[in-house]
Amino acid sequence: MTDHDLTNLRRKRRYIHRQLDRYEPLVTRLRASLAETEAGIAAIAPELNLPPRRYAPNPHFARGELPRLALAILRDAGRPLSTREIAVRALARKGVTLPDRRTMKMARVRVQQAFARFVARGIARNVGSARAGKRELI
């Protein structure tokens, strides 16, 4: 590692410390505001359970990637496929050959949601019904 690299890293470290100093008061105010809001909700409806809201990013697909993959999979197949088949193939393309139940369900639900939008936009249609239903491109 050269002196130039070390200088850049130290400069970056100073910059990050300045950013932390800048945003920590804002985070403190937001946490206090959230606590006041939750206290107000608890005063009005004490029986209401407020679970913490946490965003967990999808570990396998980037934003908008799964719908694009689903369309590509249908184009490659050339025939109608079930939501499960599309989800399995999409996960396989991302290197997940043996998905666990949670991953499989998440992928299936996201594919279903994507195809609901595709059907509404006239890009795809449902063939069959219920469990025997498949998806195909128009």
| pTM, to two decimals | 0.60
| Pair 79, 136: CB distance under 8 Å | yes
Question: DSSP code of 94?
Answer: T
* pLDDT for position 20: 92
The bridge status of strand 134-137 relative to strand 124-127 is antiparallel
Quick check: 1 pLDDT over 70?
no
Task: Name the residue type at position 7.
Answer: T
Summarize pLDDT for 8-44 with one digit per residue, the tens.
Answer: 999 999 999 999 999 999 999 999 999 999 899 989 9
pLDDT at 51: 81
Please tell me the distance from the alpha carbon of residue 3 to that of residue 43, in angstroms, as a whole number: 59
Q: For residue 135, give the 3-state DSSP assignment.
A: strand
Q: How confident is the model at residue 2 (pLDDT cuts 50, 70, 90)?
A: confident
The band of 104, judged by pLDDT with boundaries at 50, 70 and 90, is very high
Integer Cα distance of 126 and 119 in angstroms: 8
The average confidence (pLDDT) of the chain is 90
At 124, which helix (H) or strand (E)? strand 124-127
pLDDT band (50, 70, 90) for residue 68: very high
